A and B are shown apart, each in its own frame.
Chain A
């Protein structure tokens, strides 16, 4: 049985799954319920200056039939009295001494920071998270992402906090910045014990086509919100990786963003996170999803022979390189498994119109054929193919050669002129522009037109320019 427990910058937790600071951690009731369900920790909904919230706070992005693939909110920090929150933190800690309770904080002046840090320490919090991420409402008052976007201000506030903090301090970063490592380094300089990322991304999730207003609509108007949920995972992963790889950051990372299953969590961990936080998924499905997360993680660790979380933290980092370090001699091309092909021809139209005209259709069959000479190995067809393992990308080089752009630059063999013989696209066959005209038009016309165009189609098809065989 693998050991899921962690010690994150001094904060101990029975497993790496924490609830992110958000509505699910708004009260002692919810946090107790979550711990009861199996969550390892909870970052309390941000405490701080008094706020007033609007009604109508969330917007969703649906993809076809999938609801809330993306999610956004225009909610502020906790609007409950500080004293209630402190009392509930104390109560939770008494009941769950081995679970992690982290107080998320956001105030303005040095004095306010000192006071609130002392308050949550006295209440028994295991750690503190500084919310420098909220991209709406709070930033307009000089807090949240307004701080996260100014590394020097951020550093100053961290220093204020460290003056009184006796428990570990995590700085939560905003992704609304061009280089995430800048605020990360500032956090380190300020003396923080760890960082967490990402907070939400500034967004408009949609516009009502009748009311001409962005979602969520508050009395006919809307505002930008913060984007999160499954859609943001790729952005979060990249930022986690950037911080994990940077030699001047060197802080434990709590990964946040789009985590809904054990797989998402493992991805964050492999890129350097040693705890993970979840918000949207808990808001969508409730606390019960923790069971799938822990059991999936355990199963994965057992299969891989990992004994502790730390056996896999950052394990993928050595394989994340700069583009210039990739092997230019590596070559794959697509192969269609005819037995599996169902003839949807999505690969054909994707390659024909969206890639390199490397797939042809043949008379009498719906199974397309790859024109190996034209295939650049872009993967597109294998990505659109709806059948598992039907299009595979097969390695064609013998694996003996290794040459990167960096090496070519050093050797002086990179293309330097517009028509340079050494450029990649040279000698790659492309059809003549005019061969496109009328080609297959009949196959993409609307129903009725298709019927009447069918007659002309035969003529067109026979005049179509053949590709080299």
Chain B
């Protein structure tokens, strides 16, 4: 039985994809902030990849200084509002909150964070401005969390910044990838507009950088280039039948969902291949789009899934069923997908082995491959001297983000291989400082 009816209008879509972390009102924020103990050397700060001074901003909320709270947040993380809603807080700040050790509900840090920043955005509070021009220019490729954060920080340091973005909207996967029940498009874009207005960087949309000629032009006109290109499309599985209609990549499916909402086509019986967080998202999203059955198929056991436990719980909560220790062999069908042929697997010495003679076909009318994103190797290979590691990640200095081509810097998914918005945002801030250090050194 489907838990959700197929949404046919915007309101129905929003009902099915209701926000997991709804906005707090002032009273709720006051109550919640007053629970915070204001720990010394607070563990929540250390657990935040962007090191937000959590007790400080919570105290600011509690004393009625919401604007100051927003400043504290943004000083550490330019995606402050988005992160409050999309961060896996269960394993980050809230997971570290000392209340957990007393078996009590941790402080709702994420929601408080979004409460403060949302208010600053809506009231258009001027918290930041560009630094005095220093006469130097940086080009940024990609307007995702990494690119935009680097742009903000560089502007505050006085750089002229041009961002080149392949898509029509900023924020990268925050608006094209993150599940809609975590944050709405409007909310993401409002934060982007807020940042753009304060820092005054220029973004050229629908401007993919794809050729050596374009890269050369950037190298000539800019003092440094920042690569905030993230990852690419879904990796192919190289399975027979993969080309059949209704066999889609998770990233592509979700991008459509984010842009077209209820007009996104979903099957009646969907099989999602994968065991990571993207797989959990795709499965939950299919269910909320009204799919009657959603099966999550993973090669290994349940415990070995890469996804966070709370993400799997979320998927289970909307009726998704798990199918473990099975590997897809072929996508069956006649033009369109009609099922997936699996073989059962066993794990021997850490290696997944197919068990001969255990093939079976699970019928379905849609397959979503959530088996990882490809790297943008074609582009990266056009950059002279740029070293890439065995997993396709750009090699760069931990602290400064400088790549093996000194003019190029990077951070975010392109360098860490795929993490969270908060990582991209925090690392990009550090990389912007790295660029500043590098360009200031010669003076």
Contact = CB atoms under 8 A, between A and B. Distances in A.
A66 B33 CA distance: 12
Contacts of A341: 101
A447 B71 CA distance: 11
A317 interface: no
Contact of A447 (B33, B37, B56): B56
Contacts of B129: none
Nearest to A440: B41
B39 A345 contact: yes
Contacts of A108: none
A343 B98 contact: yes
Interface in A428-442: 440
A447 B41 contact: no
B156 to A, nearest CB: 11
Contacts of B99: 342
Contact of A343 (B30, B53, B75, B101): B101
Which of A341, A346, A448 has the most B CB atoms < 10 Å from its CB?
Answer: A448
A287 interface: no
Which of B41, B45, B98 has the most A CB atoms < 10 Å from its CB?
Answer: B41
B53 A450 contact: yes
Contacts of B43: 343, 366
B234 interface: no
B95 interface: no
B51 A448 contact: yes
A20 to B, nearest CB: 29
A451 B50 CA distance: 8
A447 B39 contact: no
Contacts of A366: 43
Given A443-B40, A446-B56, A446-B75, A65 B30 contact: yes
Contact of B39 (A64, A66, A346, A440): A346
A66 B27 CA distance: 11
A447 B40 contact: no
A447 B102 contact: no
Nearest to A348: B40
B89 interface: no
A415 interface: no
Contacts of A64: 30, 33-34, 62
B86 interface: no
A440 B41 CA distance: 9
Nearest to B52: A447
Contacts of A346: 37-40
A440 B98 CA distance: 20
Contacts of B50: 447
Which of A344, A446, A451 has the most B CB atoms < 10 Å from its CB?
Answer: A344
Given A65-B30, A344-B98, A446-B56, A451 B40 contact: no
Interface in B77-133: 98-102
A292 to B, nearest CB: 23
Q: Secondary structure of the B side of the interface?
A: helix
A142 interface: no
A379 interface: no
A450 B53 CA distance: 9
Interface in A356-390: 366, 386-387
Given A64-B34, A342-B98, A448 B76 contact: yes
A75 to B, nearest CB: 28
A349 interface: yes
A345 B40 contact: yes
A66 B102 CA distance: 23
B72 interface: yes
Contact of B34 (A65, A386, A443): A65
A344 B75 contact: no
Interface string A66-110: 100000000000000000000000000000000000000000000
Given A343-B101, A346-B39, A448 B34 contact: no
Contacts of B45: 447, 450
A306 B123 CA distance: 61
A451 B39 contact: no
Interface in B47-75: 50-53, 56, 62, 72, 75
Interface string A163-183: 000000000000000000000
Contacts of A440: 41
A325 to B, nearest CB: 37
Contact of B72 (A342, A348, A446): A446
Contacts of B51: 447-448, 450-451
A443 B41 contact: yes
A455 to B, nearest CB: 9
Given A64-B34, A65-B30, A448 B75 contact: yes
Interface in A387-414: 387
Nearest to B102: A342
Nearest to B53: A447
Contacts of A342: 98-102
Interface in A122-155: none
A348 B38 CA distance: 13
Given A450-B53, A451-B51, A349 B101 contact: no
Interface in A417-469: 440, 443-444, 446-448, 450-451
Interface of A: 64-66, 341-346, 348-349, 366, 386-387, 440, 443-444, 446-448, 450-451
9 contacts: A65-B30, A66-B34, A346-B38, A349-B40, A366-B43, A446-B75, A447-B56, A447-B72, A451-B76
